[in-house]
Amino acid sequence: MERGWAPPRWRGPWILCLLPALAGGQLLAASEAAYEERTVTGVRGRVVELSCGSAASAPPAVVFWSFAGGSGPPRAVAVGSGQEVVVAPGTGTLGRVTLRNGTLELRELRAGAQGRFLCQGLFPEWGQLRVGYAAVLLRVLVPVSKPFVRPTAAAAAEGTAVALTCAVREGTEPLSFSWQHREPRGGPSASPAGLGGSGAELHLTPANRSHAGWYACTVRNAVNNHTSEPVYLDIVYGPDEPAISVEPFSPEQGGFSAGEREDVVLSCLAPSNPPSRYIWLHNGSQVHTGQTYVIAAIARAQAGTYTCLAENTHLQTRTQATIVLTVYYPPAGTPSCSALATSDQRDVALRCRWLGGFPPARLRWVGPQEEDEGVMGMSFSMATSIQSGAATRNSSSFSCLASHPALPQGAACGTTLWVPAGGPSCAAAATKGDEFVMLRCQWEGGTPPVTLHWRDPGGRALADPAPSTTVLVLSADGSLGGRDFICAAAHPLRATGTECRLRLGKPRPCPGALTGRSRIPVTPVPPILTEQKPPGWRRRGARWRCWRAARRGWRAGGTAVVSVPPWLGTTLRSGR
């Protein structure tokens, strides 16, 4: 006896009385009895109808349904004759049983109704009653229940094996499974590509960070399909090797650079789950904690190596990256320009100088209307350009352009080459108690300054060349009288040189002065710049006067005035 099936409690053998009564006065065609066997599929919880006989035949006059669910004997389900129907007790395990026109209807079908239903009926046919037998094999399909996902671990380290199982409590096989994966931050669901395993299990071997996210599974059978609630799978990884970025972005070989007093922002990114903890080191010493390190108005002392240390506190793993940050600073002040005569006064050397800074300033000379192309290539800290004097016009201007990474606008200095008007002027004076004779040659102005040098008529140089002013100091002796001295002037922008001359006079006696018993002839030339003191002449301050010994007094008519410049008051030595 099947579980839950109570044997029918009949009130009497009424079916034995019923069939003969119905058949009274009619011929039974027992030899024409019909036998039928078929299979019907029903779904648990729904309605299924089991007919006794074909759909084209008339409803049976009398019908008897029984059920054999297992290996035991059949059990009565329902009997009907016309409008009179009797349902056997205990059929609730099959569902809600009703009988209508010989058709057995099972509402709210239960899984226990799966089995063989037997039908016996009397079918009126051409004034006779034909006996029909039907065996209906009922297959009850169970819909799949809502599945759920069960991972081997809610969080797994990258590189390890992870499996997810789609579990379902019930459902008639065969079952088919499909998986959906959604990124951690949302987005459409998609079938996870390239993942191992099929059916109820999904294998992530090995798991990587792309596997993190929401997982759901869908189960299907012949009746229905159901999708599970999503389950989050967390993949722990990292940190990866950090990537350091610098703002303002100024990369160079081996690192980055910044100008002094600039604001520098260092950022570090090391993908990690959970997010990395960041520590900044400057030359090996910790200076900051956090993903971004802002250096306000960076100083040259803050140059060096910067290391970003990233740490995954969950996995206790660390990675790091290091950059070299160079701080540029310009030289102090501004560049200076100068011009010097060179190549024996034929050329001009343009010199630009700006020392210091890091890196050294780049300098280049440009001439008139040569802003784009310099007269020479780039140089660091000092730049020299040789200009041909013959090819350079008077009042030509040249500029030295300076560039430096820390000076976006750059810097410059300039000079104008020009020749002073006129020519050199020569003068002579006695100094230091008439012991020395000073020859002075002067020609002020010009860039570069005019070069002056003293020589004798034979071309022999008497002193080193000097710019603008040159002084020749000679010892007063008897050899200077009547000699010529030439001051030669040269400038690179003048095709030919120019000069001025001086001739030193010989001593003359004082007019009317007496030397012994003889009288010296009177001469109008005063003894200025002579190598020895002439007879009868005496100096009072800046004036020479003729002394008449006979009268013991000054002769007014013999006065000679000598101008003594202020610079002659110093003590000079011969040759300076």
Split at pLDDT 50, 70, 90, the class of 35 is: confident
Task: Kindly indicate the confidence band of residue 519, based on its pLDDT and cuts at 50, 70 and 90.
Answer: very low
Distance CA 370, CA 440 (A): 41
Q: How many domains does the chain have?
A: 6
Q: Which of 275, 306, 328 is the last residue of a domain?
A: 328
Does residue 5 lie within any of the structural domains?
no
Tell me what pLDDT residue 2 has.
Answer: 38
3-state DSSP call for residue 98?
strand
Yes or no: say if 155 and 235 are a contact pair by the CB < 8 Å rule. yes
Q: Tell me, yes or no, whether 306 and 371 share the same domain.
A: no
Q: Same structural domain for residues 48 and 166?
A: no
Looking at 283, 304, 328, the residue that finishes a domain is: 328
CA 93, 99, 105: angle at the middle one, nearest 5?
A: 55
Considering the domain boundaries, does residue 208 fall inside one? Answer: yes
CB 19 within 8 A of CB 62: yes
- Range of the structural domain that residue 544 is part of: 514-569
Higher pLDDT, 527 or 291: 291
Residues 264 and 310 in one domain: yes
Q: Please indicate, yes or no, whether residues 299 and 194 belong to a single structural domain of this protein.
A: no
Cβ-based neighbours of 487, under 8 Å, separated by 6 or more: 424, 426, 439, 441, 452, 453, 454, 470, 499, 500, 501, 502
Side-by-side strand order, sheet with 553-561:
537-540, 543-548, 553-561
Are 250 and 226 members of one domain?
no
Give domain status of residue 222, yes or no.
Answer: yes
Residue 51 pLDDT > 70: yes
In a 13 Å sphere around the CA of 433, the CA atoms on its Cβ side amount to 1
Q: What's the sign of the alpha-carbon dihedral 192, 193, 195, 200?
A: positive
Report residue 215 as tokens: 């997982």
- Do residues 130 and 52 both lie within one domain? yes
Note the pLDDT of residue 263.
95
Res. 166: pLDDT tops 50: yes
pLDDT band at 324; cut points 50, 70, 90: very high
Over the stretch 211-270, which tens digit does the pLDDT of each residue have?
A: 999 999 999 999 999 999 999 999 999 999 999 999 998 888 888 999 999 999 999 999
Check residue 250 and give its pLDDT: 86
443 found inside a domain: yes
Write down the pLDDT at residue 496.
85
Beta strands in 199-297 (DSSP E): 201-204, 213-220, 225-227, 231-236, 243-247, 251-252, 255-259, 264-269, 277-282, 285-289, 292-295
538 falls in which pLDDT band (50, 70, 90)?
Answer: low
Question: What value, to the nearest 5°, has the Cα angle with vertex 522 and ends 517 and 524?
Answer: 150
Q: Which of 233-242, 319-328, 342-351 has the lowest mean pLDDT?
A: 342-351
Helix (H) or strand (E) holding 21: helix 14-23
Q: Does 23 have pLDDT greater than 50?
A: no
Average pLDDT over residues 161-172: 94
pLDDT above 70 covers a percentage of the chain that reads 78
* Phi-psi category of residue 113: left, alpha or beta, with phi > 0 → left and psi -120 to 50 → alpha: alpha
Residue 42: its H or E element: strand 34-43
Same domain, 35 and 122: yes
CATH of the domain at 53: 2.60.40.10
Of residues 77 and 196, more confidence is placed in 77
Is the per-residue pLDDT at 517 higher than 60?
Answer: no
- Rounded Cα–Cα distance for residues 331 and 185 (Å): 53
410 neighbors 402 (Cβ within 8 angstroms): yes
More confident residue, 545 or 186: 186
Asked whether residue 21 is assigned to any structural domain, the reply reads yes
pLDDT at 30: 54
- The rounded mean pLDDT for the chain is 81
379 and 310 co-located in one domain: no
Strongest mean pLDDT among 47-56, 161-170, 461-470? 161-170
